[in-house]
C-alpha cells in the first residue's frame, strides 16, 4: 500500500520532472563549454549527467509495473559488457575504467528510453511537458548563440582557421547540430498544436530556421529545408484528415524556406564549403609536390615496381595519414588506399579514422569483432582515431553484437510507428507525430553520417525522450483499438 502511494505521488510530479530535465540539458552543455574554455575539469558536469542517468533509471524502475523489462535490459547489457571485457583482455586491457565509462555512454540510450517509457505510461502528460521542454530548449540555445555573438565569445562551428558558423557556448558541433535539428520540428509543431497566434509561430519559425541557417553544418541546412518543405506537405495532408486551417502556417514556412534558399550563397555553410574546396586544392598541390620529390629520389636510387610505388608516396602518407601509416606501416596503409595520391582520399580525416579502426580490428581477431575493442587502442602518438560515424563507432566499440542490438532497438520503434500509421493513419498522423517523426529522422541521419549522437549523453537524452514520445503515441492508438 505504501509503495502504491509512493508511486502515485511520484507519478504526479513526472511532467514537471521531465520539463526540468529538458531545461537542464542546454544549461549543462554551456557549463561544460566554459569549464573547458577556462581549462578546468569537466568532472562536475560529467558527474551530474551520470547522476541524472541513475536517478532517471531508478525512478523508472520504482514506477514500473513491468520490472521484468529492466531485469532483461540489465542482463543483456551485463552480458554484452562481459563479452567486451573478455575481448579487450585478449589484447591487454590498458584503461578498463575509462573504457567502461565510454561504454556506458552507448548504454545510456536504451536505459533512459526504457525509464522514460515507464514515465509516459504512468503519466501521459509527460509527452506534453517534453514538447514544451523542447520549445524552451530551442529558445535557450538561440539565446546562448546570440549572447556569444554579442560578447564576441562565439567559438564558431568550424574553428580551425575558418571561423565559420554560430555555435554558441556549446562544445561539440556535431552534437549541437543533431540537437537543434531535433528541437526545431518539435517546437514548431507544438506551437501549432497549442493554437498559438501566427505571430508566435512566425517568430518560432524565424528562430528555428535562423539557428539552423547560421550553424553552418550541411546536415543542419538540409534539415532546415526538409522541415520547411516537409512540414507544409504534412499540413496539407492533415487539412484533409483533421480539417485543420493550414494556409497561414504553410505560407510562413514557405517564406522562411524561400529566404534561406535565396540566401544560400551567403550562408555560412556555403562559405565553409568554399574553404573546404580551397584547402583541398592546397593540400593536393602539397601532395603532388611531395610525391614528385619522392619519385625523383626513388628513380635516382634505381627503385622500380612496388618499391618505387611505395617510395613515391611515403612522405605524403606520413604527412596526411600519420596514424595508419605510423601504426600499421606504409605498405598496409597504401594497399588500403590503393596507392592513391588524391587529396580527396588521403586527406579525408573521417576516412582515415575508419581505416585506422579497420586495420586495428584486423590485428585483433576473435572476440573483438563480436564485442568491440578498447577505445584506448584506437590511438597513435596521443591522437585518438575513434571513428566519426556513430553506427560505425558502436560497431568498433561494442562489436557486431552491440551494433545489432542497437539497430534492433531503434528499428523496433520505427516498425511500431509504421504499423500504427497503417492501422489508424487519421488518428496517428497528428502534429505531435509529425514533429516527433521529423526530429527522429534528423537525429538518425546525424548518427549515420557523424559522431556525437548515439554516444553523447546530451544528445541521447533528447533521443530517448523522442522514442518514449513515439511509444506513447502508438500505445494510445493500440489501447483505443482494443477498447
Distances (CA, A) of 316 to 304, 310, 319, 331: 19, 11, 5, 13
Q: Is residue 379 part of a domain?
A: no
Q: Is 365 a member of any domain?
A: no
Query: Has residue 8 got a pLDDT over 90?
Result: no
Residue where a domain stops, chosen among 347, 376, 399 = 347
Q: Please, which pLDDT band fits residue 337 given cuts at 50, 70 and 90?
A: very high
Q: Is residue 333 part of a domain?
A: yes
User: Is residue 226 domain-shared with residue 85, that is, in the same domain?
Assistant: yes
| Per-residue model confidence as pLDDT tens digits over 347-400 | 999 999 999 999 999 999 999 999 999 999 999 999 999 998 999 999 999 999
Do 276 and 322 share a structural domain? Answer: yes
pLDDT digits (tens, 9 = 90+) for 148-207: 999 999 999 998 778 999 999 998 899 999 999 999 999 999 999 988 789 999 999 999
Q: What is the dihedral of CA 270, 271, 277, 283, to 10 degrees?
A: -150
Q: Are residues 278 and 408 in the same domain?
A: no
Give the model's pLDDT for residue 6.
66
Burial readout 141-163 (b: 16 or more C-beta within 10 A, e: otherwise): bbebbbebeeeeebbbbbeeebe
Residue 188 and residue 71 share a domain = yes
- Inform me whether the pLDDT recorded for 29 exceeds 80: yes
Percentage of the chain beyond pLDDT 90 is: 86
- Residue-wise pLDDT for 37-47, tens only, equals 999 998 899 99
The answer to whether residues 256 and 281 belong to one domain is no
**Rounded to whole angstroms, what are the CA distances from 253 to 23, 135, 192?**
26, 17, 12
pLDDT reported for residue 245 = 82
Number of domains in the chain: 2
What's the per-residue H, E or C state across the chain? CHHHHHHHHHHHHHHHHHHHHHHHHHHHHHHHHHHHHCCCCCHHHHHHHHHHHHHHHHHHHHHCCCHHHHHHHHHHHHHHHHHHHHHHHCCCCCCHHHHHHHHHHHHHHHHHHHHHHHHHHHCCHHHHHHHHHHHHHHHHHHHHHHHHHHCCCCCCCECCCCCECCCCCCCCHHHHHHHHHHHHHHHHHHHHHCCCCHHHHHHHHHHHHHHHHHHCCHHHHHHHHHHHHHHHHHHHHHHHHHCCCCHHHHHHHHHHHHHHHHCHHHCHHHHHHHHHHHHHHHHHHHHHHHHHHHHHHHHHCCCCHHHHHHHHHHHHHHHHCHHHHHHHCHHHHHHHCCCCCCHHHHCCHHHHHHHHHHHHHHHCCCHHHHHCCCHHHHEECCEECCCCCHHHHHHHHHHHHHHHHHHHHHHHHHHHHHHHHHHCHHHHCCHHHHHHHHHHHHHHHHHHHCCCCCCCHHHHHHHHHHHHHHHHHHHHHHHHHHC
Dig out the grid coordinates for 108 from the structure. 545510456
Q: For residue range 276-333, list pLDDT tens digits in order.
A: 999 999 999 999 999 999 999 999 999 999 999 999 999 999 999 999 999 999 999 9
Q: Are residues 411 and 337 part of one domain?
A: no
User: Could you tell me which residues are beta bridge partners of residue 437?
Assistant: none
Same domain, 250 and 285: no
Q: Which domain holds residue 293?
A: 271-347
Q: What was the pLDDT predicted at 479?
A: 43
In the prediction, which pLDDT does 159 show? 82
Q: Is the pLDDT of residue 83 over 60?
A: yes
Indicate if 210 and 79 belong to the same structural domain.
yes
- Tens of pLDDT, residues 405-459: 999 999 999 999 999 999 989 889 999 999 999 999 999 999 999 988 999 999 9
Residues 442 and 429 in one domain: yes
Q: Is 371 within the bounds of a domain?
A: no
Asked whether residue 397 is assigned to any structural domain, the reply reads yes
Which of the listed residues 323, 347, 371 is the one where a domain comes to its end?
Answer: 347
- Residue at 364 is within a domain: no
Last residue of a domain, one of 321, 347, 373: 347
Per-residue pLDDT band for 476 (boundaries 50, 70, 90) equals low
pTM value is 0.94
Residues 183 and 115 in one domain: yes
Kindly tell me if the per-residue pLDDT of 78 is higher than 80.
Answer: yes
Is 24 part of a structural domain of the chain? yes
Residues 335 and 261 in one domain: no
pLDDT of residue 11: 77
Place of cell 546530451: 458
- Is residue 355 domain-resident? no
Angle, CA of 392, 445 and 170, to the nearest 5°? 90
Mean pLDDT of the chain: 93
Q: Are residues 276 and 318 in the same domain?
A: yes
pLDDT band per the 50, 70, 90 thresholds, residue 482? very low
Amino acid at each position: 500500500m505504501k509503495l502504491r502511494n509512493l508511486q502515485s505521488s511520484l507519478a504526479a510530479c513526472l511532467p514537471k520532472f521531465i520539463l526540468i530535465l529538458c531545461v537542464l540539458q542546454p544549461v549543462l552543455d554551456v557549463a561544460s563549454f566554459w569549464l573547458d574554455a577556462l581549462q578546468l575539469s569537466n568532472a562536475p558536469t560529467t558527474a551530474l549527467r551520470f547522476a541524472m542517468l541513475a536517478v532517471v533509471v531508478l525512478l523508472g524502475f520504482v514506477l514500473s509495473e513491468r520490472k521484468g523489462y529492466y531485469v532483461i535490459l540489465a542482463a543483456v547489457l551485463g552480458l554484452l559488457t562481459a563479452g567486451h571485457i573478455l575481448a579487450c583482455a585478449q589484447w591487454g586491457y590498458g584503461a578498463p575504467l575509462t573504457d567502461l565509462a565510454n561504454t556506458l555512454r552507448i548504454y545510456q540510450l536504451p536505459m533512459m528510453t526504457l525509464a522514460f517509457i515507464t514515465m509516459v505510461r504512468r503519466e501521459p502528460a509527460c509527452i506534453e511537458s517534453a514538447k514544451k521542454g523542447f520549445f524552451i530548449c530551442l529558445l535557450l540555445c538561440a539565446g546562448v548563440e546570440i549572447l556569444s555573438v554579442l560578447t564576441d565569445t562565439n567559438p564558431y562551428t568550424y574553428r580551425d582557421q575558418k571561423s565559420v558558423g554560430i555555435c554558441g557556448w556549446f562544445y561539440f558541433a556535431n552534437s549541437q547540430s543533431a540537437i537543434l535539428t531535433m528541437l526545431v520540428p518539435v517546437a514548431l509543431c507544438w506551437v501549432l498544436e497549442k493554437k498559438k497566434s501566427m505571430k508566435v509561430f512566425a517568430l518560432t519559425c524565424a528562430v528555428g530556421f535562423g539557428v539552423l541557417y547560421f550553424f553552418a553544418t550541411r546536415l543542419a541546412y538540409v534539415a532546415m529545408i526538409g522541415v520547411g518543405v516537409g512540414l507544409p506537405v504534412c499540413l496539407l495532408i492533415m487539412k484533409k484528415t483533421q480539417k485543420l486551417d493550414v494556409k497561414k502556417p504553410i505560407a510562413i514556412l514557405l517564406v522562411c524556406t524561400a529566404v534561406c534558399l535565396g540566401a544560400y550563397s551567403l550562408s555560412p555553410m556555403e562559405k565553409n564549403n568554399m574553404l573546404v574546396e580551397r584547402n583541398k586544392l592546397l593540400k593536393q598541390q602539397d601532395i603532388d609536390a611531395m610525391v614528385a620529390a619522392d619519385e625523383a629520389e626513388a628513380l635516382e636510387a634505381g627503385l622500380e615496381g612496388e618499391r618505387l610505388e611505395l617510395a613515391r608516396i611515403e612522405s605524403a602518407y606520413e604527412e596526411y595519414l600519420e596514424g595508419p601509416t605510423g601504426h600499421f606501416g606504409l605498405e598496409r596503409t597504401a594497399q588500403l588506399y590503393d596507392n592513391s595520391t588524391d587529396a580527396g582520399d588521403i586527406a579525408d580525416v573521417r576516412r582515415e579514422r575508419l581505416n585506422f579502426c579497420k586495420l586495428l580490428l584486423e590485428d585483433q581477431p576473435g572476440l573483438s569483432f563480436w564485442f568491440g575493442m578498447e577505445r584506448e587502442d584506437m590511438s597513435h602518438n596521443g591522437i585518438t582515431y575513434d571513428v566519426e560515424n556513430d553506427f560505425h563507432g558502436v560497431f568498433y566499440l561494442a562489436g557486431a553484437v552491440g551494433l545489432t542490438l542497437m539497430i534492433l532497438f531503434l528499428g523496433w520503434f520505427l516498425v511500431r510507428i509504421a504499423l500504427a500509421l497503417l492501422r489508424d493513419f487519421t488518428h496517428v498522423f497528428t502534429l505531435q507525430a509529425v514533429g516527433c517523426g521529423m526530429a527522429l529522422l534528423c537525429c538518425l541521419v546525424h548518427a549515420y553520417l557523424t559522431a556525437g549522437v548515439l554516444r553523447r549523453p546530451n544528445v541521447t537524452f533528447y533521443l530517448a525522450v523522442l522514442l518514449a514520445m513515439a511509444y506513447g503515441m502508438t500505445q494510445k492508438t493500440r489501447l483505443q483499438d482494443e477498447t
